[in-house]
Chain A
Amino acid sequence: MSDDKSQGSTSHEAWGTRMGLILAMAGNAVGLGNFLRFPRQAAVNGGGSFMITYFIALLLLGIPLMWIEWGVGRNGGRFRKGHIPGMFAALWKHPAAKYLGVVGMIIPLTVMIYYTYIESWTLAFSYFSITKDYWGNTTQEAMVTYLQTYQGITPGSSHVTALGFFLVTLVVNIWILSRGISGGIEKLARIGMPILFLFATILAVVVIFLPPGPGGETAWQGLQFIYNPDFSRLDEPGVWLASAGQIFFTLSVGMGSLQAYASYLSKKDDIALNGIATAATNETAEVILGGTIAIPAAVVFFGVTGAMAIAQSGSFNLGFATMPVVFQQLPMGNVLGFMWFALLFFAGITSSVAMLTPIMAFFREEFGWKREIIAWSFGLITLLFGLMHIFWLQYGFLDEWDYWAGTFGLVVLAVIETILFMWVFKPENAWASIHQGADIQIPRIFKFIMTYVTPVYLLFILVWWGAQDAIPILTNAKSAGGGVLTPEMHPYVTGARLTIVGFAVIFAFLIRIAWKRNNYDDRAGFVEVDQSGRTTV
C-alpha cells in the first residue's frame, strides 16, 4: 500500500483553466433535456405549479447534490480515484463500498451508448435542415413519418442513414475522449458551449418576435402556457415528482460524470462556487432559453390546444417533428433549423463525452491502460450495443435502458452517495471537505438540508417511483417508454434488462480483480497522492 504501484497508475490529468472546468461541467449538465424535456414537463404539469416545485427541488435536491458530487469527486481525487467504486471506498472503509460503486459504472456506460445514438439524430437533422431534405413535410404527421423513416421504423425503410450518422457521432466522441481532459473535453467545452448559447439566444429572440400564427396566437401565449400559475395542482404528488425528476436529468446528478470531473481538482481548488456556477449556467440554458424556444414556437403555429397535444406526445416529437414544421414556415428556416439541431448536438456531445470519463478513469488508474486504447475499446463496445438500439428501437430496447439506467438508476446512485458522504463520512467532514479552498461560505442551512432533507427527499422519490413505475415495468404490466407493451416486445425488453445485469456482473468482477491486483486494503483505505504522483501521507 505504500508504493505507487500498489496504488494503481501514477498518471493523472488536470484541468487547464478554471473557466474551462466550469464550461465542461456546465456542458456535462446542459443536455438535450434542457431544450426538449423541460418545456414539455412544464407545459403538461401545470406551468406555474411545476415552476414552484421545480425551484424547491433545485434548492433542496439539485444544488445540494451538486455540492455533494463535487465533494465526493474531489475527495476521491485525493487518492487518485476518478471512478465511483474508488470514491465510495475512499468514503467508507468497508469491503462492500467498492461494490456499491458498480451502479456508478453501469449508469454512465449504458446512458452513453443510447445517448450517443439520440445525439446522432441531432447531427443528422442539422444536415437535413441545411440541405432542406425534409422540406415539403409541412404537417406534424408528415414529419413524424419522416423521423420514423430515418429511424428505420416505417415499413420498407432502411437503417443505413441512421447507422452512418451514429458512426460519425461516435467517432467524434471517442476522438475527443482520446485527447484527454485538458486537450479534448475542455477544448470541446470552450468551443461548444459559446456556440450553444449563441444559437439558443438567437432562436429564443426569433421565437419571441414571431408574428401571430394562423390562429392569431403569439409566443407570449406560449410563455403563458409554461408559466400559467395553476396552484390547484400543487397538491398532486405527480407534479412534485416530475419536477424532482427534471432536476435530476438537467443537472446530470447521479450519473458519475460530475464526480469524475471533480476528481481532477486539488485540495486548493474551489468547489463551492464552481458548483453553484455550474448549476446556475445550466438553469439559464434551461429556464431562460429552453423554455422560450420549442413550446412558444409550437403555440404560435399550432395553437394552445395543438401545442398541448404535441407536448403530451413526447419530447422527441416536439424537437424533431414540430420544430422542423415551424422552420419550414420561416424565412431562412433552413439556417434556423440548422442552428436548432446544432445547438442540440453541442448540448448532447458535451454531455456524452463526460459519461465515459469515470469508465476511462477506472481502467487508467487501476489497470494502467493508455487513454487512447480505453477510448477506442469503449468506442467499439458502444458501437456493438448501439446497433441493438438502432435495430430494436421500436421494440422498446432503448426505453428499457433509459428507464433503468437513465431514470431509476440516477436516484439509486444519488441515494447511495448522499448517505455515504453525509452520514458515513460524517456531516462535519463532508462540510469541511466542500469548503476546502472554497471561494464562498455556503449558508449553514445547507448543511442541515444536505444531511437530512436531501436524503429523505431522495428516498421518497425512490420509493414512489419504485411503487408507481419500477415494479409495474419489471412485471411487464407497464411499458418503460409509456406506450403499449406488446407480446412481440417481451424478448427485447428482457434482453435489455439482462444486458444491464451482465454489465453489473462484469464490473463487479473487474473491481475485484483491480483491488487484488493493486493490493488494496479495504479497512486501511487508500494512500493519499498529490496530483503529481507523490504520496503525501
Chain B
Amino acid sequence: MTTGAIIFMALSWTFVLGLTGWAFYRLLTHKKHHDPDGIGPAVPPEPPARGR
C-alpha cells in the first residue's frame, strides 16, 4: 500500500471507530432510565434496601 492510501485508511478507520466507541461509551456508562411507554417514573426506582 502507498503511504497516501495508508494515511487515508487510518484516518477513515480512526474517525469511524472513534465515533462508534465514543457513542457506545456514552450509552453504556451514562445509563439513563429507559421509558419507552412514557408513563414510567423520571428516574429509575431505587433497589430495595437489604434487611440485616
- Name A residues whose Cβ lies closer than 8 Å to a Cβ of B: 14-19, 21-22, 47-48, 51, 55, 220-221, 223-224, 226-229, 264-270, 273-274, 276-277, 279-281, 283-284, 287-288, 439-440, 530-532
Contact = CB atoms under 8 A, between A and B. Distances in A.
B29 to A, nearest CB: 11
A221 B5 CA distance: 10
Given A224-B2, A530-B38, 11 more contacts: A18-B34, A224-B5, A226-B9, A266-B38, A268-B40, A279-B19, A280-B23, A281-B23, A284-B16, A440-B26, A531-B37
Nearest to B30: A439
B37 A266 contact: yes
A55 B12 contact: yes
Q: Which 4 residue pairs spanning A and B have beta carbons closest together?
A: A266-B38, A14-B36, A531-B38, A277-B23
Interface of B is mostly: helix
> What interface size band does chain B fall in?
20 to 34
A280 B38 contact: no
B49 interface: no
Contacts of A18: 27, 32, 34
Contacts of A15: 34, 36
Given A48-B5, A229-B8, A266-B36, A273 B20 contact: no
B35 to A, nearest CB: 5
A277 B36 contact: no
Given A265-B36, A266-B37, A266-B38, A48 B13 contact: no
A200 B41 CA distance: 40
Interface of A is mostly: helix
Given A229-B8, A267-B38, A270-B32, A283 B27 contact: no
Given A51-B12, A283-B20, A228 B36 contact: no
A276 B19 contact: yes
Nearest to B2: A224
A264 B8 contact: no
Contacts of B9: 223, 226-227
A280 B20 contact: yes
Contacts of A265: 36
Interface in B20-52: 20, 22-24, 26-27, 30, 32-40, 42
Nearest to B31: A18
27 contacts: A14-B38, A18-B32, A22-B27, A48-B4, A51-B12, A55-B15, A221-B1, A227-B8, A227-B12, A229-B4, A229-B5, A266-B35, A268-B42, A269-B34, A273-B23, A274-B27, A276-B23, A280-B19, A280-B20, A280-B22, A280-B24, A283-B16, A288-B13, A439-B26, A439-B32, A531-B37, A532-B37
